Amino acid sequence: MALATAGKEGGHDAVREHLETLFLGQQNAHLLDDVIVGFVNTNEFKQRRYTVQELMTCAPSWGRPKHFKFVHAEIPYLATVDFWEGSQVDFVVIRLPNNGFTYRNLPCNLPCIMSTAPGAAPLRAHAHSGRHEEEEIHRHRHDGWVELDGTLLMEFFPGLAKSLGANFTSILFFYNYKHQRIDMQLFTDDSCAPGLMLTFELGYPYVDDQCQRRPLRRL
C-alpha cells in the first residue's frame, strides 16, 4: 500500500482528534507541508534543482553535507542534505526550517495518540533496521522524544504525499516539544534501500552574503 493513501484508510476519529489538538489544527501542520513543497519545487544547488528521487540516488555518494537554497512564502532559506549511514539502516537526511510551526506540550493521554488505528498500515521500522518497533520507540523517547501515529499524520501532509508518490510505504513520526523539532522517517519495501529522514528544526531566512561583496582595497 502506498504511503500517499495510508492516512485515509482506517483512520480512527478519536486518535485524529487528539492529533489535531496537539497540532493546533491542520493549518498549523500544513505550514510544515508547505515547507516541504517549497523545497521540492524550488531547491537549488549550484544552479541545479533535484527531485526527491535524484536526492535519494545522489546523496549517498556525496561524502559530505550540501546546503540547498530554496524558497518558502517568497523568503529564501537553506536546507541541509546529508547521508547518514547506520549499522542497520541508512538515511538520506533533509534538514528544513520549522518556519512558524507552533509546538505544544504533549497531553496526558499520549498512549491514545501513539496508537495505530485498526485497519491502518503498521509502522514497520523493524523491517528495515532489524530491531523491534518497541525498541525504536524507547530509543527516541529519551530527552523528550515521543512517537506519534505517522500513518494518520500523513493526512496533514498532502504535498509531501504527492511528492513521494508510491516509492515510500511506511513511516515513523517523532515529536519533541522540548527541542522544537520533528523527525519523519520514511521507508520503502526494499530493506537494502536507504530511508528518507525529514527533520524540522529552528531555522532562519537565508541572507546572500555574496551580494554584499565590496572591492578589496590595496594599501
Distance CA 209, CA 167 (A): 38
Reduced 3-state DSSP string for 174-205: EEECCCCEEEEEEECCCCCCCEEEEEEECCCC
Residue spans of the domains in the chain: they are: 3-169+181-202
Please tell me the predicted confidence (pLDDT) of residue 88. 84
What are the pLDDT digits (tens) for 30-41?
889 999 999 999
Query: Per residue in 52-94, pLDDT tens?
Result: 999 999 999 998 999 999 999 899 999 999 999 988 889 999 9
pLDDT tens-digit map of 88-136: 889 999 999 987 787 777 654 444 444 333 333 333 333 333 343 443 4
Tell me the average pLDDT of the chain.
77
Residues 6+ apart with CB under 8 A from 156: 19, 23, 26, 29, 30, 32, 33
Indicate the range of 21-25, 122-126, 183-187, 210-214 predicted with least confidence. Answer: 122-126
Within 13 Å, how many C-alpha atoms sit on residue 155's CB side?
A: 20
| pLDDT value at residue 25 | 66
